[in-house]
Amino acid sequence: MIYSRIAGTGRYLPKRIMTNSELEKMVDTSDEWIRTRTGVERRHIAAEDETTSDLALAAAEAAIENAGIDKDEIDLIVIGTTTPDLVFPNIATLVQYRLGIHGCPAFSIEAACTGFIYALATADKFVRTGASKCALVIGAEIITKLVDWTDRSTCVLFGDGAGAVIIKPSEEPGIISCHLGADGQYRDLLYYPYGVSKDLCKAGTGDARLMMSGNEVFKVAVKTLGSVAEEALTANGIDKSQLDWLVPHQANMRIISATAKRLDMPLEKVILTVQEHGNTSAASVPMALDVGIRDGRIKRGQLILMEAFGGGFTWGSILMRY
């Protein structure tokens, strides 16, 4: 049996940091409200001329170095993002070109905040079937360009960034299981109202801004993420006490705490970046994974559950040994 296994990780965060006190000057909010309701203390914001492929490329270079591979070994690139540079060519081809590699399949997957989980689950299938020997998987997002900076109910939540992993075949696990799901009946609770075939409109003009029914999203997210975690454990006959780390999507500290509680996991066993990064959509899970690995908390062989939930709704989990 061939598994895919993480060979290296990397992340990139834009230079500019925006604190809660800056937001206090922009909208009617307070550091105290943002911290207690969301856990966010600061977030990184991409520069005006920075694109999602800039962030993705920097994260990819860090992961390539960390894996100790030659970039020419990469034979597959999959990127989860909802905020690509262009409609086409797809962002993975842009990153491929900028890495200076040619010929391998390169494509993107759009599943909002679950984008990286969908991308890694897809790349895992290529590696398991022998179609890829070295895959680059990225979650990258400049979601703040879709945010209305006068809307206090959304602008305090988000940040930008990119996280990347290199996966390679291994006889030892590796990725044990991937569970993905979606339910379009919830499409109106979290969405961006314009697109290519529907009234294409420049972000930041008119009502072209991220729309979210926060409270409703919160309730479905807590319920779904709890069952997603249980689904992964049950499918593999693994008891929650065996988990070493939870690496969750970093949308809201209260959602993360609720999932950890359902798994009987103390917060010491959860990789938390929401305070520093805010909600970076598809970038949040791979960046949190990279943080936990690079600071030495996540060790080789440990059992890790990654999970995410986002617009659509989409959701998913990946259970793996690092």
54 or 141: whose CB is closer to ligand ACO?
141
Query: Which one of residues 221, 229, 256, 319 is an interface residue with ligand ACO (CB under 6 A)?
Result: 221
DSSP state of 72: G
What is the rounded CA–CA span in Å between residue 97 and residue 104?
11
Coil vs helix vs strand at 317: strand
Least distance in angstroms from the C-beta of 217 to ligand ACO: 4
* Pick from 149, 171, 188: nearest CA to 313: 188
DSSP state of 88: S
Least distance in angstroms from the C-beta of 24 to ligand ACO: 9
- Is 253 among the residues that bind ligand ACO (CB under 6 A)? no
89 or 214: whose CB is closer to ligand ACO?
214
20 among known catalytic residues: no
What is the rounded CA–CA span in Å between residue 207 and residue 118?
29
- Among 20, 66, 90, 113, the active-site one is 113
What is the rounded CA–CA span in Å between residue 185 and residue 204?
27
- Among 20, 66, 249, 252, the active-site one is 249
249 among known catalytic residues: yes
What is the rounded CA–CA span in Å between residue 178 and residue 304?
12
- Is 229 among the residues that bind ligand ACO (CB under 6 A)? no
Residues 258-297 that bind ligand ACO (CB under 6 A): 279, 281
- Is 255 among the residues that bind ligand ACO (CB under 6 A)? yes
- Is 113 among the residues that bind ligand ACO (CB under 6 A)? yes
Query: Which one of residues 33, 97, 107, 191 is an interface residue with ligand ACO (CB under 6 A)?
Result: 33
* Pick from 235, 173, 167: nearest CA to 2: 173
User: What kind and span of H or E run contains 275?
Assistant: helix 274-277
What would the two tokens of residue 34 be?
């943002």
Pairing mode, strands 303-310 and 245-248: parallel
Site size with ligand ACO, rule: CB under 6 A: 22
- Is 311 among the residues that bind ligand ACO (CB under 6 A)? yes
Coil vs helix vs strand at 286: helix
Catalytically active residues, by annotation = 113, 249, 279
Binding footprint of ligand ACO on the chain (CB under 6 A) = 29, 33, 37-38, 112-113, 152-153, 156, 190, 214-215, 217-218, 221, 251-252, 255, 279, 281, 310-311
